[in-house]
Amino acid sequence: MENKEIIEELEQVAPLLNTIAKAPVQSVPDGYFDQFQVQIGLDHSKTEIDAAPIVKMNTRGKWFSLAAAAVVIGILVIGGFNLVNQPVSDPGMVINMEQIAKIDINQSVQALSNDAIDEYLKTANALAGPENSLHQYTVDAISETTVAEISDEELQLYLSE
């Protein structure tokens, strides 16, 4: 694009931009730098301003804080490794898959009391929510008349599910 095309496009898109002057915004008045008197070289006998005292920074404090941070990180890492590699002290918490595979589920369920099953169903209903509720299978919902109405085939179907 040529300069003329740019100006025409700016006139169409943003006519206000063409009214702004194209002169530099930052400027220094004429003769501004002529007023300064700069002393070149270091002649300490003629300085008008006393030099500020030079203070050496203490680097020992920096190293001390870095060393303290390294010690804390080391303690955390060693403690984490010890925690992860610590053997389980309670043998009841160790899951033995061979023993779980040998459990007879039918015998275990037969050994449960009715109160334990009722408590499980109430807890399951509370956790499942209304859309997944097991309310039709709880003791409160099944009356003596509906138990007689349930056929053996329906019970077998329920147990197989």
Residue range 49-82, pLDDT digits in tens: 566 777 777 777 788 889 999 999 999 999 998 8
- Helix spans in the chain (H): 3-13, 15-19, 60-84, 97-101, 105-110, 114-128, 144-149, 152-160
Q: What is the pLDDT of residues 2-24, one digit of tens each?
A: 788 888 887 888 887 777 777 77
Angle at CA of residue 119, ends 116 and 121, nearest 5°:
110
pLDDT reported for residue 48: 52
Spatial CB neighbours of 9, under 8 Å, sequence gap ≥ 6: 1
- What is the C-alpha separation between 122 and 128, in angstroms, rounded? 10
pLDDT reported for residue 34: 82
pLDDT reported for residue 42: 58
Single-letter amino acid code for the residue at 101 = A
62 in Cβ contact with 70 (< 8 Å): no
For residue 106, pLDDT beyond 70: yes
Cα→Cα distances 83→58, 87, 89, 131, Å: 39, 9, 12, 43
pLDDT reported for residue 73: 97
134 — pLDDT class (breaks 50, 70, 90): low
pTM of the model: 0.25
Top-confidence range, 35-39, 110-114, 132-136 = 110-114
Q: What is the sign of the dihedral through the CA atoms of 125, 130, 132 and 136? A: positive
Provide the percentage of residues in the chain whose pLDDT is more than 70: 73
pLDDT reported for residue 88: 64
Domain locations in the chain as residue ranges: 97-160
